[in-house]
A and B are shown apart, each in its own frame.
Chain A
Amino acid sequence: MDELFFLKLKKRRKVNRFVRRFSFLMSLSVFCLFILICLMLFGSSFSLLRKDVFGVIFGTEWLPHQEKFGLLYFIWGSIYTTLLALIISVPISLFTAILISEYMPKKLAMNTKLIFDVLSGVSPVVYGFWGVMAIVPLTRNFIQPFLADNLHIKLFLSDNKSGFSVFSAAIVLAVMVSPLMVSISEEVLRAIPFEIRQATMSLGATKWEMVKKVLLKKGATGIVAAIILSFSRTVGETMAVLMVAGCQMSKMAISAFDPAYPLPALIANTFGETMSIPLYKSAIFLAAFILLILTLASNLFGWSILLRIEEEKS
């Protein structure tokens, strides 16, 4: 170990120390980024919040030029489309997950999951495109007339005959979120130990009975987590909804065939007009903040359930 060695060692140390400090700051900035996002959105919407919190969140009038920023119909639009999407998606995803995890040969199951995975990576705009091209006409020409003619309930009666509606948006969202829900539920079911299945099967039960009595009961909490996480994913979806939900601010959507105007679509559609009116800007940032809180809360809730399941196992 000569002088050259120590000379180089000094340099190596310096580089290492620099990289360590720099990457430590970068890692720390992940926390900062999150906090910055929260602060920025909250701060920007503060002037409106300070003025009238309840009037904004529970207000129904959206007249920006008269400084009336009721967000309730938009929040309702988000919740309505998301819930309808989940109602469509949950049974389909659950049955598909059971089929894949319990009835399919392993290799086929793997390939199916891979294909789902690849297709779910397609751009949201392409889902919206598909919605406009396929689902909206299908709704307009077949589903809406059929349901309206045969079932005279408020849910299916609407003046809006365009097909751009809560229903179309829900279908597109359901298809978008299903691969996620299938993949989480499938993992939950697969994680249930072999011994438990075997014990039931050896009592002479059919496979379906085993699924019904053992797997669904054992996996129930995990499936609930899957639904909550899917809710979070769906409620923030923007482009696809913007393209098919109609997005007209006429009235509160009651029928599934009414147009809806969910929060993300509101943000995307109006940011350009907001520049001139300060409170308008605040309203849009408030919409983003509400969205952030909604997704954050549901994600944390979903993860905590999954975490508890994992802890119980070990």
Chain B
Amino acid sequence: MISAKKIEEKIFKILMYISFSLLSIALVSIIAVVFVKGLGALSFKMLFSVPQGGYYLGGEGGILNAILGSIAIGSIATLLSFLYAFCIVFYINVYRFSKSQFSRSVRFFLDILWGIPSIVYGAFGFGIMLIFKIPASLLAGALTLSFVILPIMARTMDETLRMIPFEMKQAAYSLGATRFEISYKVIIKQAFPGLLTAILLAFGRGIGDAASILMTASYTDSLPTSLLRPVATLPLCVFFQLSTPFKEVQERGYAAAFVLTILMLLVSLLARLSFKSFSKYVVK
């Protein structure tokens, strides 16, 4: 009897280890493939030049347009969604009770927005652009993208604000501060590391997203110089270059995948570090 139990446990333990290994191998092999393919395709010229003539047939050029484009669209979208989320989160935590009906419904709808696939945001943005006859551009893409990353930004900031000690608010209010003064003179300082984490998480998600900007930001071979022109991005660079039959062109896709992955891992790790140097005044 006992030995049968033991054998059963052994079998299932082995299954667990196999599952865990499979998943780990798969996840690690993603990074491995990106590194092996990407490092081979990397060169100074690749990183620091823009596509030249005959690019898609194997002509000269690199992916600088996509690198700068991704950073531009990611930063603008992050800034927009930060400002948006900032108002929301301070309103539902400072101007209203965190647990009030209103605040909870806002959170609920943020969660709903979080669940909407980014391609749907893309279609939404594209639809709005069709109605108002706006052409695909950096600005349109950044706006659409800012909606995609709004929930992750707002919910992360919200968690931070809910951690502010109640006594700290009491102390500040009892000095006669208005809610606005408490928000921007006290709570911001206490929540600063958390706000930074939210910004980085949202930025990381933003530069990785392609489905929402495919239709709204389009693609271009030139550097991002105007808000009203299309912009190149790393994910779309990977997508477009990979679908060509020419080896030289595909190499650019490899390089773009590599740069994109490095960027996202960096941002993701940064977001999870505790910001010691920025949290000088934070009260523990």
Contact = CB atoms under 8 A, between A and B. Distances in A.
Interface stretch (B25-33, B43-51, B189-197, B275-283): B25-33
A127 B30 contact: yes
B210 A24 contact: no
B9 A207 contact: yes
B84 A121 contact: no
B110 A30 contact: yes
B30 A243 contact: no
B117 interface: yes
Contacts of A92: 19, 22-23
Given A23-B88, A206-B5, A93 B23 contact: yes
A236 B120 contact: yes
B13 A126 contact: no
A292 interface: yes
Nearest to A35: B109
A191 interface: no
A16 B124 contact: no
B257 A98 contact: no
B41 interface: no
Contacts of B127: 40-41, 44, 285
A205 B13 CA distance: 15
Interface string A232-248: 10011111001100000
Interface residues of A, number: 80
A122 B261 CA distance: 6
B208 A123 contact: yes
A30 B95 contact: no
Contacts of B205: 121
Nearest to B154: A30
Interface residues of B, number: 83
Interface string B101-140: 0100110011111011111111110111010000000000
A291 interface: yes
Interface string A284-314: 1100100110011001000100000000000
B73 interface: no
Contact of B242 (A91, A129, A267): A129
Contact of A129 (B116, B130, B238): B238
A285 B126 CA distance: 10
Given A129-B242, A243-B239, A295-B116, A122 B33 contact: no
B9 A41 contact: no
30 contacts: A12-B180, A19-B180, A19-B183, A20-B179, A26-B87, A27-B87, A27-B92, A34-B113, A40-B128, A41-B127, A121-B208, A122-B265, A123-B207, A123-B260, A123-B264, A124-B211, A126-B257, A126-B260, A126-B264, A130-B33, A175-B23, A179-B27, A206-B5, A206-B9, A238-B210, A239-B210, A292-B117, A295-B115, A295-B117, A295-B120
Q: Which 8 A-B pairs give the minimum distances between C-beta atoms?
A: A236-B117, A123-B208, A95-B19, A288-B123, A26-B87, A23-B91, A208-B9, A125-B235
Interface of A: 12-13, 15-16, 19-20, 22-24, 26-27, 30-31, 33-34, 36-37, 40-41, 44, 91-96, 98-100, 103, 114-116, 118-130, 132-134, 175, 178-179, 182, 205-209, 232, 235-239, 242-243, 264, 267-268, 271, 281, 284-285, 288, 291-292, 295-296, 299, 303
Interface of B: 5-6, 8-9, 12-13, 15-20, 22-23, 26-31, 33-34, 37, 84, 87-88, 90-92, 95, 102, 105-106, 109-113, 115-124, 126-128, 130, 147, 178-181, 183, 204-205, 207-211, 214-215, 234-236, 238-239, 242-243, 253, 257, 260-261, 264-265, 268-269, 272
